[in-house]
């Protein structure tokens, strides 16, 4: 989790690794739901959070084999009034 005083600036890292040794991946597409109606398609987005608690969801899709993975972190960001 990432607790701190608002405004809380957070940089996310996707850290995606292709694990098949027999095939090469296609293009990876990133879709971040950063909470608070904010989203990003950047690989490693940065977001500034106001006072509240936020959940973060990362969905990644691979273009050749149509492999998709989603990771949800509920109540991951907790920004409080200083």
pLDDT digit string, tens, across residues 12-41: 887 666 665 556 667 888 899 998 889 999
Identify the band that residue 1 occupies on the pLDDT scale cut at 50, 70 and 90. Answer: low
Q: How far is it, in rounded angstroms, from Cα 61 to Cα 79?
A: 30
Q: How many CB atoms sit inside 10 A of residue 35's CB? A: 19
The pTM is what?
0.76
Across residues 44-49, what is the average pLDDT? 90
In three-state secondary structure terms, 42 is coil
Q: How far is it, in rounded angstroms, from Cα 58 to Cα 6?
A: 23
Across residues 50-72, what is the average pLDDT? 82
Q: How far is it, in rounded angstroms, from Cα 45 to Cα 75?
A: 18
CA–chain centroid gap for 31, Å, is 7
């Amino acid at each position: 989790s990432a607790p701190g005083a608002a405004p809380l600036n957070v940089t996310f890292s996707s850290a995606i690794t292709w694990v098949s040794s027999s095939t090469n991946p296609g293009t990876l597409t990133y879709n971040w739901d950063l909470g608070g109606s904010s989203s990003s398609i950047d690989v490693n987005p940065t977001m500034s959070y106001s006072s509240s608690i936020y959940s973060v969801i990362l969905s990644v899709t691979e273009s050749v084999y149509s492999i998709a993975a989603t990771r949800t972190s509920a109540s991951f960001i907790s920004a409080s009034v200083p």
